[in-house]
Structure 1
Amino acid sequence: MRPVLAVLLAAVCFGTTGSARALADVEAGALSVGAARILIGGGLLALVAWLLSRRRSAEPAAAPRGGARRGMPTPLVIALGAAGVVAYQPLFFLGTETNGVAIGTIVALGSAPVLTGVADWALSRRFPGWIWVVATAVATIGVVLLSGITAGSTGSVSGIGLLASLGAGASYAAYTLAGKALLDRGWSSTSTMGVLFGWAAAASLPLLLLSGPSWLVTPEGALLALWLGIVTTTVAYVLFGWGLARLSPATVSTLTLAEPLTATLLGLLVLGETLDATATAGLVVLALGILVLAIPRRRSVSATA
């Protein structure tokens, strides 16, 4: 269960983003906040990876894992993964701003596990398994119910917004699969996350400067940036990478649907939000989908103990 719990804890860290922004009450655009988050968190991940690599420099390099496919050059894998990290947040926010938070979130979060699982299946010939299919379907239904979207309530939907949300899901799949590819080539989880997010941090600096960083000099803005950078990025992706090294990309992507579950619970407990009956049902269904995926993993581990 430890890899499963690591990914779930990472998702809990991700899920604090919205509540942190609401409590900070900082006047900053989503692009600026996202760029600051990656700049701080990615820089710290790169620093952690560098420090650990110095400690391990005298050790022999790990051999590539069995079944690893080396078709794509490593620099290209890193470039694609870092591009996915940088692209995810602006595409996600463009989708939510164009079609609303509900639809944008559904399309982005709902498509990410599916795109990750299908791409991993195509690239590695590893079928994620029927348990993953069922768990992903159930969890996605829970996300839809949680959003409050009902038939006839969506109004007009922008094609550009949908493409942006799908792009966010594809970006998530890109950096997850790139990370797994590096892990399969013998990289450590910290080195993998460090190099992907380190390059993403470098690319985020001009985005932050262009989008207006003045909010960072306020006490609230500085605290928000540190929380998002340290907790929701550095700590979260150390856990995410450790779990990814031991689980399939498809499984990891579905487990991270605990992010909207966490965000909703924090909204209820911290921000005083309320849920109607449909959203409450969605909360239960989403939790059930995650449990469907997590419980068999626990049984398989205990069976081999």
Structure 2
Amino acid sequence: MKKNEAFYILMVLAGSVLWGTTGTAQHFAPAGASPLSIGAVRLAVGGTALTILALSKGAVKGKEIWLNLNTYISAASVAAYQLFFFAAVLKTGVAMGTVVAIGSAPVFAGIFSIIMGREKPDTKWVVATLVSIIGCILLITGGQELTANVSGVLLALAAGAAYAGYTAFSKQLLDKYSTLAVTGVVFFIGAILLSPLLFVFDLNWLRSAQGIGVALHLGLLATAMAYVLFTYGLSGIPLHKAVTLSLTEPATASMLGVFLLKEQLSPVSWIGIALVFAGLIIISVKKAE
């Protein structure tokens, strides 16, 4: 492992754990809160918080980052992920949409890593990623057969590509700019891109204290803090490795469902969780000298 790589791995894992709280938070959202409206509000709150943080810390200096094409590709990827993922879930169901989106993201990240001339995936990454993806499939499906909708699967694949795209192009930006500058500017633009949705969907669920609490959690913790941690970790490890490590998210979501929402997991799902963590251990352990 590179010097201090373990620290960057922990940052990525911490960000992924915070992402894993999203489903639990949505469970507590008031009636009438549609997934797309939640996604738009989440990005609006998170983007605003990240922009304020970046500006208050003086992280954004000059116009250069605003003129960088990678900035806009990253922002478009963030916005596209929200749209593609929720559209996929509506067409093919939560389980299938999540499996395809999350399972395909590391594969796309590996492809981007090769195309962009980054550190190429090695055998250990391939093994760890396959183990973790199989674990995610077992975890989310519980061993039950899923029905695939072609258009839904394609949308989920697009979501996986969009997530990997954010990671890849943000990694390019991190070569020149700080974590706060990258997240602040990228999410500011991403929030603007999704802002029209705020005028399309019913936002009455925000009129209650419960709705505001959900929006603040999703925006400040599951978006702003999560992406700062993840992006900071991304600055110190290969992008394909970071995306594989982010498979911690569904495992976290499932564990929160069990312990907070009193949900029941099948034995197959528990095996899936074990495989996810086995994959994370494989990719994180230091090679023998």
TM interval, shorter chain, is over 0.9
The separation in 1 between residues aligned to 2:41 and 2:79, in whole angstroms, is 11
The separation in 1 between residues aligned to 2:50 and 2:61, in whole angstroms, is 18
Distance 1:291 1:211, change over 3 A: same
In the alignment, residue 279 of structure 1 is paired with which amino acid?
Answer: S
TM-score (norm 1): 0.88
Question: Deviations 1:128-150 (Å, cap 9, x if unpaired)?
Answer: 22111111100000001112264
In 1, are the aligned partners of 2:50 and 2:180 still within 8 Å (CA)?
yes
> 2:104 matched to 1:111?
yes
The separation in 1 between residues aligned to 2:125 and 2:109, in whole angstroms, is 12
The separation in 1 between residues aligned to 2:119 and 2:274, in whole angstroms, is 30
In 1, are the aligned partners of 2:143 and 2:269 still within 8 Å (CA)?
no
The separation in 1 between residues aligned to 2:102 and 2:157, in whole angstroms, is 9
Q: 2:124 aligns with which of 122, 131, 134?
A: 131
Worse overlay, 8-17 or 43-52 = 43-52
In the alignment, residue 177 of structure 1 is paired with which amino acid?
Answer: A
Question: Deviations 1:52-111 (Å, cap 9, x if unpaired)?
Answer: 226x869xxxxxxxxxxxxxx953211111111011112111112211111111100000
Worse overlay, 104-113 or 94-103 = 94-103
**Residue of structure 2 equivalent to 1:282:** 272
The separation in 1 between residues aligned to 2:242 and 2:271, in whole angstroms, is 24
In 2, are the aligned partners of 1:83 and 1:200 still within 8 Å (CA)?
yes
User: How much does 1:212 deviate?
Assistant: 2.0
Aligned pairs, how many?
Answer: 281
**Residue of structure 2 equivalent to 1:221:** 211
In 2, are the aligned partners of 1:45 and 1:194 still within 8 Å (CA)?
yes
Q: Structure 2 stretches of 5 or more lacking a match?
A: 1-5
> 2:42 matched to 1:50?
no
Taking only aligned residues, the RMSD between alpha carbons, in angstroms, comes to 1.9
**Residue of structure 2 equivalent to 1:264:** 254
Q: Structure 1 stretches of 5 or more lacking a match?
A: 59-72
> 2:163 matched to 1:158?
no
> 2:11 matched to 1:19?
no
The 3-state SS of whatever aligns with 1:24 is coil
> 2:139 matched to 1:146?
yes
In the alignment, residue 170 of structure 1 is paired with which amino acid?
Answer: A
TM-score (norm 2): 0.92
**Residue of structure 1 equivalent to 2:8:** 3
Distance 1:29 1:177, change over 3 A: same
Q: 2:76 aligns with which of 72, 79, 83?
A: 83
**Residue of structure 2 equivalent to 1:173:** 164
Question: Deviations 1:26-46 (Å, cap 9, x if unpaired)?
Answer: 421100000000000011111
In the alignment, residue 237 of structure 2 is paired with which amino acid?
Answer: L
